[in-house]
């Protein structure tokens, strides 16, 4: 009987330990604040934080310590640096370009490769993928794309660059409960994808329809990047609006 009692007690202890180990990690505002204060991003913080609103947007996405995050078409790495410090050494940040886009952004790609080689940002992996159909070496917690979803309908991105194919690929590489975050320049309501190439804008309504069509659930939005003074019908690089376009920020979750 004593042996049985000891065995039951050991089993209970092991089960308790398993439950503790499986406790989901939680979003931490303190971790986000610390990442935003990272000295390594001082130049970007001073130049861009006020207009890009990283605090509320990353809080909406819920990026947390230990997460595996894919930053799709990361540009200069503005978001990548922040993700790196939030997820920490237990996490990973994949900075990914499709080849069709990377050929126009080799300076950014090379800079990101240098950043990946820096031990201070040692959890960043830089990759140029041959196809526009996104892939990842492991299941992810977050896929994030800022100001680039509108590129996927455009001819220069190649035959695989279709928003529907992108969304299906994202759905496949996310864990259940994973987050798909899309930030982009607004087009006028009803314009659909008509302005993606000429104006670099897209209608938020069609983005939501496209993403939900592959199985994602809409999980919220932020309006911190809305600008009522943007007429929505001029190119985003027009000097009258550049850096201050009205943008939508949508969060989707894989069930």
pLDDT in tens, 48-57: 999 999 999 9
The whole-angstrom separation of Cα 100 and Cα 133 is: 11
| Residue 2: pLDDT over 90 | no
| Residue 4: pLDDT over 80 | no
Q: Which residue has the tokens 């031990």?
A: 119
| Residue 179: pLDDT over 70 | yes
pLDDT in tens, 149-158: 999 999 889 8
The whole-angstrom separation of Cα 208 and Cα 48 is: 27
pLDDT in tens, 38-51: 999 999 889 999 99
Q: pTM, whole model, 2 decimals?
A: 0.90
Nearest to 101 by CA among 132, 137, 133, 144: 132
The whole-angstrom separation of Cα 134 and Cα 202 is: 20
Q: Using pLDDT thresholds of 50, 70 and 90, give the confidence band for residue 10.
A: very low
| Residue 67: pLDDT over 90 | yes
Q: What is the reported pLDDT for 235?
A: 98
| Residue 69: pLDDT over 60 | yes
Q: What is the reported pLDDT for 160?
A: 77
Q: What is the reported pLDDT for 220?
A: 97
Q: Using pLDDT thresholds of 50, 70 and 90, give the confidence band for residue 16.
A: very low
The whole-angstrom separation of Cα 83 and Cα 127 is: 16
Q: Which helix (H) or strand (E) holds 251?
A: strand 247-253
| Residue 24: pLDDT over 80 | no
Alpha-carbon distances of 195 from 32, 144, 150, rounded to whole Å: 34, 22, 9
Class level of CATH domain 27-253:
alpha beta
Query: Domain residue spans in the chain?
Result: 27-253
């Amino acid at each position: 009987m004593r042996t049985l009692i000891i065995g039951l007690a050991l089993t209970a202890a092991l089960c308790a330990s398993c439950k503790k180990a499986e406790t989901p990690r939680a979003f931490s505002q303190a971790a986000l604040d610390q990442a935003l204060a990272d000295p390594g991003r001082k130049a970007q913080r001073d130049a861009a934080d006020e207009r890009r609103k990283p605090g509320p947007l990353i809080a909406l996405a819920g990026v947390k310590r230990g997460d595996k995050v894919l930053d799709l078409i990361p540009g200069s790495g503005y978001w990548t640096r922040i993700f790196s410090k939030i997820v920490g050494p237990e996490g990973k940040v994949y900075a990914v370009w499709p080849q069709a886009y990377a050929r126009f952004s080799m300076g950014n790609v090379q800079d990101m490769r240098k950043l990946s080689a820096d031990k201070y940002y040692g959890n960043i992996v830089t990759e140029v993928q041959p196809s526009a159909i996104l892939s990842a070496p492991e299941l992810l917690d977050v896929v994030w794309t800022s100001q680039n979803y509108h590129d996927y309908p455009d001819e220069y991105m190649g035959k695989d660059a279709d928003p529907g194919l992108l969304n299906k690929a994202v759905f496949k590489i996310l864990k259940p409960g994973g987050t798909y975050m899309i930030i982009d320049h607004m087009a006028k309501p009803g314009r659909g994808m008509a302005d993606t190439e000429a104006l670099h804008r897209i209608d938020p309504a069609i983005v939501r329809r496209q993403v939900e069509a592959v199985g994602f659930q809409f999980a919220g939005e932020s309006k911190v990047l809305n600008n009522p003074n943007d007429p929505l019908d001029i190119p985003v690089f027009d000097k009258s609006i550049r850096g201050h376009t009205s943008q939508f920020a949508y969060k989707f979750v894989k069930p």
